[in-house]
Amino acid sequence: MASTRGTLALSKAGISFSLHPYDYDPKAEHTGLAAAEALGLDPAIMLKTLMIEVDGKPACVAIPAGNSLSMKRAAAAFGAKQAAMMSVPKAEKLSGYHVGGIGPFGQMRPIRTVFEESAMSGPVIYINAGQRGLIMGIAPDDAARFLQAQIAPLVA
């Protein structure tokens, strides 16, 4: 099975997760929804990782694949006045991953992260493992604790 910086960091920390490869479609309009469909997963617990900027500083959010991010809620979650999507080149440089394969674990440097609260109540969430076509299943509490992430309402 493939290893990424994210899977290696979680393994080193002793955090368990499962890996779920699928056929990545670069032409899919919504890659998170495409991954959920390919793996037979509920889009409510299939999270997409988005790189944003809050008051000009990098941040990361993870929301259910079928939802849209509320920039107002994202800014509030980080205690900021405004939030905006990060440019693709900047997101790839800061995360160290390619768009379509950005996951919150093992990024090039620690970036403040917030998870959408509606996805965090079950036993598992699914999120990109750091490579296109590779999803990981992980306990929500383990994911949040490892990243020192907040949990807040983020979706529109």
The token pair that represents 18 in the structure block = 């499962």
Specify the residue for token string 């693709």.
Answer: 88
As given in the structure block, the two tokens for residue 97 are 């991953």
Domain map of the chain by residue range? 5-152
| 141 three-state secondary structure | helix
Strand 125-131 and strand 46-54: pairing?
A: parallel
User: CA 42, CA 30: separation in Å to the nearest integer?
Assistant: 14
Paired with 69 in beta bridges are 155
Which residues on adjacent β-strands are paired with residue 59? 52
pLDDT at 116: 97
Class of domain 5-152: alpha beta
> CA-based diameter of the chain, in Å?
42
SS3 96: coil
pTM of the model: 0.94
pLDDT in tens, the chain (156 residues): 578 999 999 999 999 999 999 999 888 888 888 999 999 999 999 999 999 999 999 999 999 999 999 999 999 999 999 999 999 999 999 999 998 899 999 999 889 999 999 999 999 999 999 999 999 999 999 999 999 999 999 998
User: Which are the contacts of 13, defined by CB distance < 8 A and separation ≥ 6?
Assistant: 146
The per-type count for the chain, helices as H runs and strands as E runs, is 5, 8
Contact of 71 with 84, CB cutoff 8 Å: yes
pLDDT of residue 1: 56
Q: Quick one: pLDDT at residue 63?
A: 97
